[in-house]
Amino acid sequence: VKKLKKIIAWVAKNPLTTMRAILAMIIGRRIFALTKVEHPSVVRSYKNDVLEPLEKFKDNWNLKEIGKSEEGFPIMALEPKDFNQDKENILITAGVHGSEPAGLFSLLKNKELLSHSDKNVYIIPCVNPWGFEYNKRYTKNEVDVNRQFKEDTENSNAQCVMSYLKGLNLKFEYTIDLHETTQEDIRNEGFIHLLNSKLPIEDGAFIYQTVLNKEKELGSHIVKRLEEEEIKVTSWKEIWEEPCINGTVTYPEARVSIMYSTSGTLEDFCANHLTESAITAESMGYESLEKRMKMHKIVMETALNK
């Protein structure tokens, strides 16, 4: 108690120094969080870790090369062999950001789930293969593919995905794009917000969705399933300055952030051309890969069983 009294007296005498110390602690903590490596740099091989496992999908899907990435890697798609036009169509995409591999790994691991679905399941497992190999969010030319899904893009990854999807000439019940929240997001786009506590740095998973038909809203169902399976969902009320309600940022209502209103995301393209319910699922980058893969499995499962 004596010590505490001493401290209080000191603080009262030195308010400025105390404030400086507190501020330094807050900034220090944030910088420390930003420097943590959430995905240890492992050498990955697109050929061995993606193309080879995809061969196993050939029982149920046609495996097709739909174009080349900026760096010349083949971009692949899976089309259901037993396509039935009376069934609903689902599109699942992953690997748009190369440093967010859990969605892609979850796809590759859950062939059974995907093949026993009652829907026609289309898959583009890895939109940015170079990023996957080098564990980078962007392409080799520092292009964020998830801002390139617009007519005048010069990025070949986005070009081939868009023309392939348009060429299918299908409507999808849901489109699901699998992502992860990583420290890299903040490093690349949010350094200016260093003191903003509302950024998704170390909280749970969340969902972006564009809902054009309220009956097809899926985000709240995904969040419910995640909570049932004890996957932490974010408690934050804002993500990148946009309102987040119950772990879900729902467009077009929520579109207030400049970053996303300039758009060109795959979710945006899907909502404009393919579906009334486009989802982007964000797992929590600081958790173990296993747990993040489980999160993505639950997302896919919810869409497939709905």
Query: Which residues are near Zn ion by CB under 5 A?
Result: 97, 100, 179
Instruction: Pick between residue 51 and residue 266 the one whose CB is nearest to Zn ion.
Output: 266
* 77 bridge partner residues: 64
**Minimum Å distance from CB 10 to Zn ion?**
46
Task: Please state the closest distance from residue 146 (CB atom) to Zn ion, in A.
Answer: 6
Instruction: Report the residue number, 46 or 208, with the smaller CB distance to Zn ion.
Output: 208
Amino acid at 214: K
Closest CA to 293 of 304, 306, 305, 281: 281
* Residue 181 beta carbon to Zn ion: minimum distance, rounded to whole angstroms: 8
Going from the C-alpha of 296 to that of each of 15, 37, 129, 205, the distances in angstroms are 48, 21, 19, 10
The smaller minimum CB distance to Zn ion, of residues 119 and 179, is found at: 179
Q: How far is CA 198 from the centre of its chain?
A: 18
Question: Distance between terminal CA atoms of the chain?
Answer: 60
- Contact residues for 41 (Cβ-Cβ < 8 A; gap 6+): 135
What is the nearest approach in angstroms of Zn ion to the Cβ of residue 100?
5
Residue 280 Cβ, how far from Zn ion at the closest point, in Å? 8
Q: Which is nearer to Zn ion, 67 or 98 (CB)?
A: 98
Q: Which is nearer to Zn ion, 67 or 103 (CB)?
A: 103
Interior CA angle at 116 toward 112 and 121, to 5°? 95
Q: Provide the minimum distance between the beta carbon of 45 and Zn ion in the complex, in angstroms, as a whole number.
A: 21
Residue 35, token pair as written in the block: 């420097």
User: In the complex with Zn ion, which residue's Cβ is closer, 80 or 185?
Assistant: 185
- The least CB distance from residue 234 to Zn ion, in Å, is 15
Q: Which is nearer to Zn ion, 99 or 275 (CB)?
A: 99
